[in-house]
Structure 1
Amino acid sequence: MTYLKQSLEANAFFVLLSAALFFFLSGYGLIETDADHPRALFFVFYILISSPLQEFLFRSFLFAEMNRAGIKQPSVQIFVSAAVFSFIHIIYFDVTTALATFAAGIVLAAIYRKYPNLAGVSLAHAAIGTMAIIAGIARTTA
Structure 2
Amino acid sequence: MTKKLSQINTQDIKIIFLIFAFYLLPPIAIVIKLIPFSVRFILLTFIGLLMFFIRPSQGTSNIDLGITRKNFEKSIYAIIPLTLLLGLPMILLSLVNDPRIDNSELSIYFYLFYVLISCPLQEFAYRGYLFHLLEVLALKKWTRIIIAAALYSFVHIIFVDIYIVIATLLVGILWNIHYDRYRNLASVTLSHSILGVLSILFGLI
TM-score category, normalised to shorter length: 0.7 to 0.9
5+ residue gaps, structure 2, are: 1-68
User: Once the 2 structures are TM-superposed, how far is the Cα of residue 23 of structure 1 from its aligned partner?
Assistant: 2.7
Distance (Å, rounded) in 2 between the aligned partners of 1:7 and 1:127: 15
Structure showing greater Rg = 2
5+ residue gaps, structure 1, are: none
- % identical equivalent positions: 32
Name the CA shift for 1:49/1:36 in 2 (closer, same or farther; >3 Å): closer
Distance (Å, rounded) in 1 between the aligned partners of 2:159 and 2:85: 24
- What TM-score do you get using the length of structure 2 for normalisation? 0.61
User: Once the 2 structures are TM-superposed, how far is the Cα of residue 18 of structure 1 from its aligned partner?
Assistant: 1.8
User: Once the 2 structures are TM-superposed, how far is the Cα of residue 24 of structure 1 from its aligned partner?
Assistant: 2.6
Taking only aligned residues, the RMSD between alpha carbons, in angstroms, comes to 1.9
The higher relative CO (CA closer than 8 Å, separation ≥ 6) is in 1
Q: Residue 80 of structure 1: which of 142, 147, 164 is its match?
A: 147
Q: Please state if 1:116 is matched with 2:183.
A: yes
- What TM-score do you get using the length of structure 1 for normalisation? 0.86
User: Once the 2 structures are TM-superposed, how far is the Cα of residue 34 of structure 1 from its aligned partner?
Assistant: 10
Q: Please state if 1:125 is matched with 2:171.
A: no
Name the CA shift for 1:112/1:59 in 2 (closer, same or farther; >3 Å): same
Q: Residue 62 of structure 1: which of 130, 134, 149 is its match?
A: 130
Name the CA shift for 1:135/1:109 in 2 (closer, same or farther; >3 Å): same
Q: Residue 19 of structure 1: which of 77, 87, 103 is its match?
A: 87
Asked if the contact 2:100/2:204 (under 8 Å) is kept, the reply is no
How many residues get paired? Answer: 136
